Chain A
Amino acid sequence: MDSHHLTVGAHLLLWAFPLVLVILAVAVHLLPFRRRGDTP
Chain B
Amino acid sequence: MNGLDGASLVTVGTVMALYLVGLLAIAWAAARRTHGGEDFHLAGRSLGAWAAGVSSTASSESGWVTLGAVGMTYVHGVSGLWYAPGCLLGYLVNLYLVAPRLRRLSRTQGSLTVTELLTTRWGDPGHLLRLVATAIVLVSMMAYVAAQMTAAGKSFASTFGLEGHGGYLLGVLLGAAVITAVTSVGGFRAVAWTDLFQGLLMAGALLALPLYAIARLGGFGALVSGLGAIDPHLLSATGDRVGPALLGFVVGELGIGLGYPGMPHVLNRYMATRDEGEIRRLRLIGILWGVAVFYGAGLVGLVARVTLPGLPDGERALIALALHLTHPVIAGLMLAAVFSAILSTVSSQLLVAASAVSYDVVEGALGRHPDDRRSLRLGRLTVAVVGLLGVALALTEVRLVFWFVLFAWSALGAAFGPLVLLALAPRGLNRYGALAGMLTGAGVTVAWKLGRSVADNPAAFAAVPVGAVAVAAALLLAGRLGGVLRRGHAAAIVAAAVVTAGSWWLVQQGGFNHLYELVPAFLLAGATALVVARLTSAEA
Contact A18 B237 (CB under 8 A): no
Contact B287 A25 (CB under 8 A): yes
Pick the most buried of A7, A11, A22: most chain B CB atoms within 10 A of its CB.
A7
* Binary contact track B63-79/A, C-beta < 8 Å → 1, others 0: 00000000000000010
Contact A21 B291 (CB under 8 A): yes
> For residue A35, which residue of chain B has the nearest CB?
B276
Give the residues in chain B near A10, CB-CB below 8 Å. Answer: 237-238, 250
Contact B287 A14 (CB under 8 A): no
> For residue A24, which residue of chain B has the nearest CB?
B287
Contact A22 B246 (CB under 8 A): no
Query: Given A11-B78, A35-B276, is A21 in contact with B237 using a C-beta cutoff of 8 Å?
Result: no
Give the residues in chain A near B82, CB-CB below 8 Å. Answer: 14
Contact A18 B88 (CB under 8 A): yes
> For residue B236, which residue of chain A has the nearest CB?
A7
Give the residues in chain B near A7, CB-CB below 8 Å. Answer: 236-238
Contact B88 A21 (CB under 8 A): yes
Contact A22 B291 (CB under 8 A): yes
Q: What separation, in Å, do the CA atoms of A33 and B242 have in the docked complex?
A: 42
- B431 on interface, CB distance cutoff 8 Å: no
- B81 on interface, CB distance cutoff 8 Å: yes
Contact A18 B280 (CB under 8 A): no
> For residue A16, which residue of chain B has the nearest CB?
B85
Q: Which of B84-113 touch A at CB < 8 Å? A: 84-85, 88, 92
- A39 on interface, CB distance cutoff 8 Å: no
Could you say which of B81, B240, B287 contacts A3, with CB atoms under 8 Å apart? Answer: B240
- B216 on interface, CB distance cutoff 8 Å: no
Give the residues in chain B near A13, CB-CB below 8 Å. Answer: 85, 237
Could you say which of B78, B242, B287, B288 contacts A6, with CB atoms under 8 Å apart? Answer: B242
CB distance from A18 to the nearest CB of B (A): 4
Q: What separation, in Å, do the CA atoms of A11 and B81 have in the docked complex?
A: 10
CB distance from A24 to the nearest CB of B (A): 9
Give the residues in chain B near A25, CB-CB below 8 Å. Answer: 283-284, 287-288
Q: What separation, in Å, do the CA atoms of A3 and B236 have in the docked complex?
A: 10
Contact A6 B92 (CB under 8 A): no
CB distance from B444 to the nearest CB of A (A): 28
* Binary contact track B279-321/A, C-beta < 8 Å → 1, others 0: 0110110011001001100000000000000000000000000
Query: Given A3-B242, A6-B246, A25-B288, is A17 in contact with B88 using a C-beta cutoff of 8 Å?
Result: yes
Q: What separation, in Å, do the CA atoms of A10 and B276 have in the docked complex?
A: 37
Q: What separation, in Å, do the CA atoms of A29 and B240 have in the docked complex?
A: 39
Give the residues in chain B near A6, CB-CB below 8 Å. Answer: 238, 242, 246
22 contacts between A and B (CB under 8 A): A6-B238, A6-B242, A7-B236, A7-B237, A10-B237, A11-B78, A11-B237, A13-B85, A14-B78, A17-B85, A18-B84, A18-B88, A18-B291, A18-B294, A21-B88, A21-B287, A22-B287, A22-B288, A25-B283, A26-B284, A29-B280, A29-B284
5 residue pairs, one from A and one from B, having the closest CB atoms: A10-B237, A25-B287, A18-B291, A11-B237, A29-B284
